[in-house]
Amino acid sequence: MAESDSWGGGLTQRQLQAASGLGGPGEGASTIADGADVAQGATTQAAAPAAGTGNYTLIQAAKRGLLNWADLLARIPALVSGRVPVEAAALATDAVGNGTREYNLSGATRTAVGATSSAAVAIGTLGASREVMWIANTRCFVRLGSSAVAAAAGTDANVLPIPVDSMFHIRLPIGVTHYTVIRDTADGIIRCVPVA
């Protein structure tokens, strides 16, 4: 199209370029003042938030991308050597089940499990967590209560089924001091070990 040709309502190409501030062919590159375009942002802006939330400009996004890239580049030597860097939180240790427990072995009980319910067996001295560990060599059912705890029966809804050869931990409510036990199908032994 020739320079004299009319565009958009009678304006020539040269007139449109002059009105828009964009030079014509061969007149050099156009410049936009730093920060003039809000969508792009100023070069002095900080990087976007690390979480990537909120509103930010293209400049801020580009700076955040460069920071993330630098972090990835820092990990490459470890990856090349066959190690994968892993950040893990420290393990907590408490009386509820995290970490290693301390047991009151002198307060442990060993009770025969048979076809009829045992008499009430006193639970050894409990620690602050009021927790005990049950270990049985046969599947059995334990009923908890005071010294007057009723006989255990496998058909009762309020008994604890104790699996074979597993360490079963439970916190006891205040007032529970004794237990009774009955087998499922085979005789055996159950141990109750208080957690110190």
What pLDDT digit, counting tens, does each position of 50-68 carry?
Answer: 666 777 677 777 777 777 7
pLDDT at 176: 92
The percentage of residues in the chain with a pLDDT greater than 90, rounded to a whole number, is: 33
Higher pLDDT, 69 or 3: 69
pLDDT at 35: 57
pLDDT at 121: 95
pLDDT at 120: 94
pLDDT at 63: 78
* Structural domains present in the chain: 1-31 (no CATH), 34-89 (no CATH), 105-194 (2.60.120)
What separation in angstroms does the CA of 143 have from each of 103, 133, 164?
22, 14, 17
For the chain, what's the residue count?
196
Q: Tell me how far apart the terminal alpha carbons of the chain are, to the nearest angstrom.
A: 94
pLDDT reading at 72 higher than 50: yes
pLDDT at 180: 95
For residue 149, give both structure tokens: 């705890």
What separation in angstroms does the CA of 94 have from each of 88, 194, 195?
18, 15, 11
| Interacting residues of 90 by C-beta distance below 8 A, sequence separation 6+ | none
Provide the pLDDT confidence category of residue 73 given band limits of 50, 70 and 90.
confident
